[in-house]
Structure 1
Amino acid sequence: MIKNLKMINANKKYKSRENYPIVIGRIINPIVKPIYKEYGTGLPEIEESWKYIIGDKYYKSTKPKQIKWVNPYNSNEDKKVGILIILAYGPISLEVQYLNDIIINKVNNIYGYEIIKKIQVIQVNDLKIQKEPNEKIPLVADDLTEFDLIKDINLKKALSRIKALTK
């Protein structure tokens, strides 16, 4: 019976992998490739420092989408060029387009080498960005004493309504 098993195994093109460890690359590559294809690499570092890169004025109306890697035209090099794709809300997209050189320099300074060569700005109608939660500032005793000093009755009523809404 043992001879028959040896003959069956000899006819197989490869040995059974039941007792061997699985190569992790075979498991991870099918998962990671579509993610890299959609979002590109290096985007988390850009998202973390996006407020510094784009500035306070455009931070809430823009968002980095992905880094697209393309082969440069008329080039024999294997090195690909990185294009940063930015989503911008409405007319802000034109203003962001004028900031191309500044954005490229700041992104490349973060990485320490030239990762981005170009920027592509896509204008969108609705940009859903997670807003920072509003922190409620507690009332201090000094605030209440200043409230008592207000002599205008209408102003005092309006402020007391606002105070009641913020509780």
Structure 2
Amino acid sequence: MDSKLRQWQLDIERIWQAPAPDWREAARLADVMARTSPEVLLRHAAAQALPILRHAAAETGDPEITEAARRRLGIIREVLHTLTAPRFGRRDIPVKTLTPGERYRQLLGLPLDRRLTATEIHRAYKRVAKTAHPDAGGSAHEFQALSAAREALMKER
């Protein structure tokens, strides 16, 4: 699939560098990416860019539409660059999948290697909840996950 991503990147670059971009070709390419890309980020970027690219293909004279289309094409271009850029220093070491208990411990910032007391779990929960609570700038989803982690670790004890 890397070859397909690189080909799409070359096609987008060609359209991007052109003095008068071919918006019809850009819309066709975004449509293909939105339907067939295995990368979720690329599918979303292409799907969001598709309406304005089609609009720019239909009305080539409006500068506001072409500017918006150019911005959306730039987003697709950045996503493709991120996906195809070499990652130096990364090795293909298999990542150990964590058990739910280990994920809960990580979420609360607790050690993975020893038995925990109820006081340790409660203190860790309070510490993390100060920033995760919606009233403190966190999200409701994050806070609910944190509460679920505390409950699961307390039951596990």
- TM (normalized to structure 2)? 0.23
Structure (1 or 2) with the larger CA radius of gyration: 1
Higher relative contact order (CA 8 A, sep 6+): 2
Of Structure 1 and Structure 2, which has the larger fraction of its residues in strand?
1
- TM (normalized to structure 1)? 0.22
